[in-house]
Chain A
Amino acid sequence: MDSFKKASRGDRVFYVVITVFLTLFFLVVLYPCVYVVSASISSGAALNASKVTLFPVGFTLDSYKLVLADSTVWLSYGMSLFYTITGTFLSVALTMCGGYVLSRDDLPGGKIFITLFIIPMFFGGGMIPNYLLVSKLKLINTIWAVILPPSLSAYNLIVARTFIRTSIPREMFDAANIDGASDLRYFISVVLPLSKAIIAVECLFFGVGRWNTYFTPMLYLTEKKLYPLSLVIRQYLILNKINVDKLMDQEKAEQALNLVAGMKYALIVISTVPVMMLYPFVQKHFAKGVMIGSIKG
């Protein structure tokens, strides 16, 4: 639809202007990404001397070697993939079910339900009762402690609800009703297929959220085998600061630091790879014309 060739002169100017803006923004945003990649292949000494600004200095693959040689990294990578996939699946299911139901005007008590969902967004018990709950459910130190608690996100539920309300008009439901379709059938046959875009977005939100979360896994897991990658990365990020409280001679502390300076960048690159691969799949569903043929006039 937006073709430069077929555009009028005014439109061509418009296209050029926005492309320029977008390119500038793109370059500005590209910088930290390039920096992180460069840092991951620079030598520890160069990093500590703050010599790396854009391009790698003292090219070395040592950081990656150290990271990939650490079996914890591989294991936690796998665990993160597992947590993210199962968790996202569960979360998206809950969000779409809840979002659909709450989008229905004719649901008795709809307003009450929405309020019920919103209140916990603001008022929560904090670390202690949540920990006690997970403990009483005997979930401490199991994968379920990571997967189950964050599954319902009222925020995403509201976004999904809005999406369904605005993009799937009332007439569709009336038509389905006349054709004898039940609420459930309508949900499965009409709403879900037409909600590909929002499902894709929710997959992305939940996927990324779960991939990056480290605090609750830190709190609930003691077995290293179950750690997600985000927690392993955090350990490295913290361990790589010069700690003035450290008991050792500072000399030795510095020596040790040089060796692992590049690791945190290598870890970030490795951790971002799955998301980079996921994003194009998700992008497909943002393509225009998803609603073609479903509504006319």
Chain B
Amino acid sequence: MNTKGNTALRRPLGKRILDRWQLYLLLFLPLVFLIVFSYVPMYGVVLAFKDYKAGMTIAEAPWVGLEKFTKFLTSFKFTTILRNTLALSFYSLATFPIPIIFALMLNAMPGQRYKKLIQTVTYLPYFISTVIMIGIILSLLNERTGAWGSLYMNIFGRTAPNILAKGESFRHIYVWSGVWQSTGSGAVIYLAALSGVDPNLHEAAMIDGASRWQRVIHIDLPTILQTVSIMLILAIGNIMSVGADKALLMQNSMNMKYSEIISTYEYKIGLSADLPTDYSLSTAIGLFNSIINFILLIIADRVAKKLDGSGIF
């Protein structure tokens, strides 16, 4: 009985809490972990406003206010790295529907065995480490010794152009190699959601004469829409988190304008072995990213709420 809106019938807070004591019991353990491992260490955020050097405790480090943020925001390359980070993020976000489409197709495909095979194999690249993956890609794209080169030579009879020399290709390779690697694993959650589709709906639709295609659009898709919405919101909340590993491996002298992103800057200035580690700076950069991510998450959530009432909060 939902008495939320009805203030007359609403019981006092204390009673309501006692009513639901079992829920609180179940929540107890997750809360303990949350507080101990997520909230207790949170004080470290203050490092962003201090100048921390090795050998100090966090308390001992001197306050420097916004100095680290200023260093980062007024840094020589700031506009470039911000632009590149956002470009990669939005580009990656644009490929968000691909695992969904893949899951829908796989779900609609006849042939159980083959389907399972495809599912298992497409999941595997997720395990191949970035180092090896990028090595494979760079070898393939070599215009003389790679598959790209051989193919071009066979078709056009002359040496292929060097794709890697064009700076813009960095973004394309970055994003599409990500699709290559994570579509299979990204589709898992949607496949799970699709397992909840009511087969009766399908039977009813088939009786009504709907084609398989129509059934996908009108039954499968709406069923997983809430899941899609949440995954999208969470993805938006991760926009600034573009890791440094892949970009560093793919950087060359021709694509520096496109391949320097926030995390590579952070790595070179703050974490590289040549210089003393600057934890304050990396905390400040992390905080900067987090604030933006958080704001975007709230916005995305509000929008989702307005559109179809779903959302996290």
Contacts and interface: CB of A to CB of B under 8 A. Distances in A.
Instruction: Note whether A and B contact each other (Cβ less than 8 A).
Output: yes
Interface of A: 1-4, 7-8, 10-11, 14-15, 18-19, 21-23, 25-26, 28-30, 32-33, 35-36, 50, 53, 93-95, 97-98, 100-102, 104-109, 111, 113-118, 120-130, 132-133, 148-149, 151-152, 154-155, 157-159, 162-163, 165-167, 174, 182-184, 187, 197-198, 200-201, 204-205, 208, 212, 233, 237, 264-265, 268, 271-272, 275-276, 279-280, 283, 285-292, 295
Given A2-B212, A29-B125, A97-B29, A130 B192 contact: no
A234 B194 CA distance: 36
Contacts of A116: 34
Given A21-B105, A212-B127, A155 B234 contact: yes
Given A33-B121, A98-B30, A126-B45, 16 more contacts: A10-B213, A18-B105, A26-B117, A29-B124, A108-B20, A114-B312, A120-B39, A124-B42, A133-B41, A152-B34, A158-B312, A159-B230, A200-B192, A205-B188, A264-B132, A290-B196
B22 to A, nearest CB: 4
B212 A280 contact: no
Interface residues of B, number: 95
A186 B287 CA distance: 41
B189 A201 contact: yes
A276 B110 contact: no
A50 B141 CA distance: 13
Interface stretch (B70-78, B164-172, B197-205): B197-205
Given A32-B128, A167-B196, A152 B33 contact: yes
A32 B133 contact: yes
B87 interface: no
A117 B35 CA distance: 9
A122 B128 contact: no
Contacts of B118: 22-23, 26
Residue of A183, A184, A205, A290 most packed against chain B (CB within 10 A): A183
B145 A50 contact: yes
A96 B54 CA distance: 41
B191 to A, nearest CB: 5
A122 to B, nearest CB: 4
Interface of B: 1-2, 4, 13, 16-17, 20, 22-27, 29-30, 33-34, 36-45, 47, 52, 58, 102, 105-106, 108-111, 116-129, 131-133, 136, 139, 145, 147, 180, 183-185, 188-189, 191-199, 202, 211-213, 226-227, 230-231, 234, 237, 279, 282-283, 286-287, 290-291, 293-294, 297, 312-313
A129 B121 contact: no
Contacts of A155: 234
Contacts of A21: 105
A126 B281 CA distance: 12
B40 A162 contact: no
Nearest to B106: A22
Contacts of B33: 94, 148, 151-152
A29 B180 contact: yes
A286 B195 contact: yes
Given A26-B121, A108-B20, A163-B193, A121 B42 contact: no
B195 A123 contact: no
A165 B230 CA distance: 12
Residue of A106, A116, A149, A276 most packed against chain B (CB within 10 A): A106
